[in-house]
């Protein structure tokens, strides 16, 4: 049954109003209030999902939209984690235990987050309405072609860039004796990220060719067999898990763009995703333990770590948000937009600008974990709140949702370049919702460049005149 889209937008506006009242303390701070707020976030997700179902051509397109990643992120951070802290208040970060917190603090943080969830969804849906995505024809991708030698050249360059950062961080010796240093202190290491994304770009392009099943499939299979493991190994060698998860999410989009998954495929994919999530959680705790010991000892300690701590490893962004909203503005002054003004600066390599301002995540670390070096995320809503209070959360999330809505245009393009660039943006939604905006904007640009260069070099693509030199280079190495 089709419902007027104004109903969904009105519902989101009502939810945002209720969240605003909760953030101002108008709804109290009991367990019932917390239950109501997390339930309201589920209502926001339901309203946005139903509206997207009407605005997009079908169910698989909803799964391939940024809303799917956003919804999963919000459920984990603003539904599951608050409930967990309510029942197990001691299972949290040390700074929050030192500050002390109550159910009212959880309620207020969820309410602030809920404002952003509602307005992000509204911005996303409004753009889909303006783009008239429901009426767009979904045509198959153009036949994917693959140059003979170009993929191997791109793989060699990508591996060289990633390997250069690996060696700069200490190489094999650091991996064995102090693996925590491989992930921390990667300043001026943008070339390593670029290399990994070039590897992932080759893997995604060859995966798209295999899924399509055209003439390029026979050439794409050996490239996929080499590029995918190489991307994984390079990622693990640098102590990062995120590239693996991002690559898999991008691969999901490539698959959904070309095929509608069968129920059996969905069930198997969910099982694999759960297993992978468990492995990535385990590796997160290993990386934390490895900051102060060797790899073997870190793995042994992790095997003895309670499951509740595993969950804290990736969900602590909410805990950090709770701590910061207690301190701002009573003990820490407003940023007044300074972290947002640093977004252009974040795009400049630190090797060219050694004195560029630290990212917001590092500023949070300086307040909550003095002396630590790793960044401490407080989510998109946390950064917007620190800058401009509740109005900043509402308007900033609205703008971010609108930008994600515009990105869907790439999903409807017929060329591989548009699809792979969209896949990168899709995979980056989680990071843009949880990490510092400036840092994640820079990382997303690096990802787009890496995958774009790989795609342009490997296969024929219609390009703007500005990018023709890359095409000529690809022709020379064919």
Q: Tell me the DSSP string of 346-375.
A: HTS-TTT-TTPPPPHHHHHHHHHSTT--S-
Cα 78-283-267 angle, rounded to 5 deg: 65
- Which pLDDT score is estimated for 100? 92
Confidence band for 342, pLDDT divided at 50, 70 and 90: confident
Structural domain contains residue 184: no
pLDDT, tens digit (0-9, with 9 covering 90-100), for 186-217 = 455 788 889 999 999 999 999 999 999 888 89
Structural domain contains residue 171: no
Structural domain contains residue 317: no
Is the torsion defined by CA of 114, 119, 124, 126 positive or negative? positive
Task: Provide the token pair at 166.
Answer: 């690996």
- Give 344 or 102, the one with higher predicted confidence: 102
Q: Is the pLDDT of residue 288 over 80?
A: no
Confidence band for 261, pLDDT divided at 50, 70 and 90: confident
pLDDT, tens digit (0-9, with 9 covering 90-100), for 122-132 = 999 999 999 88
pTM over 0.85: yes
Structural domain contains residue 95: yes
CA atoms in the 13 A half-sphere facing the CB of 20: 15
Mean pLDDT of the chain: 85
Structural domain contains residue 198: no
Stated length of the chain: 478
CA 405 to chain centre: 16
Structural domain contains residue 217: no
Residue 120, domain extent: 5-138+386-399
Residues of the chain with pLDDT > 70, as a percent, come to 81
Q: Is the pLDDT of residue 463 over 80?
A: no
Q: Is the pLDDT of residue 17 over 80?
A: yes
- Which pLDDT score is estimated for 466? 43
Q: Tell me the DSSP string of 271-310.
A: HHHHHHHHHHHHHHHHHHHTTSS-HHHHHHHHHTS-HHHH
Structural domain contains residue 24: yes
Q: Which residues of 81-112 are buried (b: 16+ CB within 10 A; e: fewer)?
A: bbbbbeeeeeebbebbeeeebebebbbbbbbb
- Which pLDDT score is estimated for 133? 75
The structural domain count of the chain equals: 1
Q: Is the pLDDT of residue 72 over 80?
A: yes
Confidence band for 308, pLDDT divided at 50, 70 and 90: low
Burial of residue 1, with CB atoms counted within 10 A of its CB: 0-12 exposed, 13-18 middle, 19 or more buried:
exposed
Q: Stretch 446-465: mean pLDDT, rounded?
A: 83
Confidence band for 309, pLDDT divided at 50, 70 and 90: low
Q: How far is CA 312 from CA 114, 350, 437, in A?
A: 21, 31, 22
User: Helix, strand or coil for residue 460?
Assistant: coil
Task: Find the range with the poorest average confidence among 181-185, 302-306, 456-460, 465-469.
Answer: 465-469
Q: How far is CA 438 from CA 160, 197, 362, 433, in A?
A: 27, 19, 12, 12
Task: Find the range with the poorest average confidence among 34-48, 163-177, 246-260, 447-461.
Answer: 163-177
Q: How far is CA 477 from CA 128, 218, 458, in A?
A: 41, 20, 10
Structural domain contains residue 424: no
- Which pLDDT score is estimated for 465? 46
- Which pLDDT score is estimated for 175? 60
Q: Is the pLDDT of residue 181 over 80?
A: no
């Amino acid at each position: 049954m089709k419902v007027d889209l104004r109903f969904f937008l009105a519902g989101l506006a009502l939810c945002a109003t209720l969240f605003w009242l909760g953030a101002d303390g108008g709804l109290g701070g009991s367990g019932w209030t917390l239950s109501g707020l997390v339930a309201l976030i589920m209502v926001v997700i339901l309203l946005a999902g139903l509206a997207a179902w009407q605005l997009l051509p079908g169910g698989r397109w909803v799964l391939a939209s940024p809303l799917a990643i956003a919804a999963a992120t919000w459920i984990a951070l603003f539904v599951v984690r608050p409930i967990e802290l309510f029942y197990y208040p001691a299972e949290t970060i040390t700074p929050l235990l030192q500050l002390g917190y109550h159910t009212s603090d959880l309620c207020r943080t969820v309410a602030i987050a809920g404002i952003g969830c509602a307005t992000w969804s509204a911005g996303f849906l409004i753009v889909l309405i303006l783009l008239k995505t429901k009426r767009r024809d979904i045509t198959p991708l153009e036949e994917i072609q693959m140059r003979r030698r170009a993929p191997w050249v791109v793989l060699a360059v990508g591996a060289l860039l990633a390997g250069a950062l690996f060696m700069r961080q200490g190489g094999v010796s650091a991996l064995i004796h102090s693996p925590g240093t491989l992930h921390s202190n990667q300043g001026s290491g943008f070339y390593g990220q670029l290399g990994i994304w070039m590897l992932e770009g080759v893997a995604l392009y060859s995966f798209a060719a295999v899924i399509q099943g055209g003439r390029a499939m026979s050439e794409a299979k050996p490239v996929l067999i080499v590029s995918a493991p190489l991307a994984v190994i390079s990622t693990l060698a640098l102590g990062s898990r995120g590239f693996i998860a991002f690559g898999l999410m991008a691969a999901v989009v490539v698959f959904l763009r070309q095929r509608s998954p069968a129920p059996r495929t969905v069930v198997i994919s969910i099982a694999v995703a759960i297993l992978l999530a468990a492995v990535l959680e385990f590796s997160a705790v290993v990386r934390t333990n490895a900051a102060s010991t060797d790899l073997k000892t870190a793995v042994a300690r992790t095997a003895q770590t309670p499951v509740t701590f595993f969950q804290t490893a990736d969900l602590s962004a909410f805990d950090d948000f709770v701590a910061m909203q207690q301190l701002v503005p009573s003990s820490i002054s407003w940023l007044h937009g300074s972290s947002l003004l640093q977004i252009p600066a974040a795009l400049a390599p630190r090797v060219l600008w050694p004195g560029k301002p630290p990212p917001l995540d590092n500023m949070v670390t300086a307040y909550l974990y003095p002396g630590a070096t790793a960044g401490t995320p407080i989510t998109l809503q946390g950064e917007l709140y620190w800058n401009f209070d509740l109005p900043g959360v509402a308007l900033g999330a609205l703008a971010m949702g609108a930008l994600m809505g515009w990105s869907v245009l790439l999903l409807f393009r017929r060329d591989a370049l548009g699809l792979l660039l969209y896949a990168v943006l899709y995979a980056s939604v989680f990071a843009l919702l949880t990490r510092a905006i400036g840092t994640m904007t820079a990382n997303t640009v690096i990802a787009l460049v890496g995958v774009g260069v790989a795609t342009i070099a490997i296969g024929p693509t219609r390009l703007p005149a500005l990018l023709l030199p890359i095409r000529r280079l690809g022709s020379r190495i064919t």
